């Protein structure tokens, strides 16, 4: 791999900080969430953020990791269902946790978007693009959880 420019290193270090913060926030939220499904979702997302952090560290260390483009079967089980009236309503605490993490994912995705355009190496761009896509999927899972609990009004 060609060595990273100072600007590329700066972007990767910023992404590293964001991933560390996401891991911390998801782990904290998992302990605070009242809904067991939401606790499970937050733990799953914390693990994926850890994978992102590992990937960033590999790039910083001079290795371009291969990314798995195939979704895992367990990734599709979360909350992509309407609330037929049988799902319990989300507590205000769970809604607040979700909104905070949804906003975090929006921000992190936007930072990846900017970084992608600054890299010379096409393979690194692809890896960062893959992570950005997963960040967007994290936001979708949170949105779908809220929607399944009638706690997110997309019309507003």
Q: What is the CATH number of the domain that holds 25?
A: 1.20.1260.10
Q: Is the confidence at residue 72, as pLDDT, over 80?
A: no
128 domain-assigned? yes
Q: Answer yes or no: are the C-beta atoms of 132 and 71 closer than 8 Å.
A: no
> What is the reported pLDDT for 53?
98
134 domain-assigned? yes
Between CA 71 and CA 58 the distance in angstroms is 22
Between CA 54 and CA 2 the distance in angstroms is 20
Domain of residue 144 covers: 6-64+87-148
13 domain-assigned? yes
Number of domains observed in the structure of the chain: 1
11 domain-assigned? yes
> What is the reported pLDDT for 84?
52
120 domain-assigned? yes
Q: Answer yes or no: are the C-beta atoms of 76 and 44 closer than 8 Å.
A: no
> What is the reported pLDDT for 130?
97
């Amino acid at each position: 791999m060609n060595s990273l420019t100072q600007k590329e290193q700066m972007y990767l270090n910023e992404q590293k900080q964001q991933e560390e913060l996401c891991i911390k926030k998801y782990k904290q939220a998992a302990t605070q969430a009242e809904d067991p499904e939401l606790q499970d979702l937050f733990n799953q997302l914390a693990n994926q953020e850890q994978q992102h952090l590992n990937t960033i560290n590999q790039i910083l260390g001079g290795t371009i990791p291969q990314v798995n483009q195939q979704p895992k079967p367990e990734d599709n089980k979360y909350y992509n269902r309407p609330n037929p009236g049988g799902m319990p309503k989300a507590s205000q605490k769970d809604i607040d946790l979700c909104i905070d993490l949804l906003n975090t994912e929006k921000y992190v995705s936007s930072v990846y978007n900017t970084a992608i355009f600054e890299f010379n190496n096409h393979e690194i761009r692809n890896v960062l693009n893959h992570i950005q896509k997963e960040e967007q999927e994290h936001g979708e899972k949170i949105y779908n959880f809220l929607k399944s609990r009638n706690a997110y009004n997309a019309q507003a």
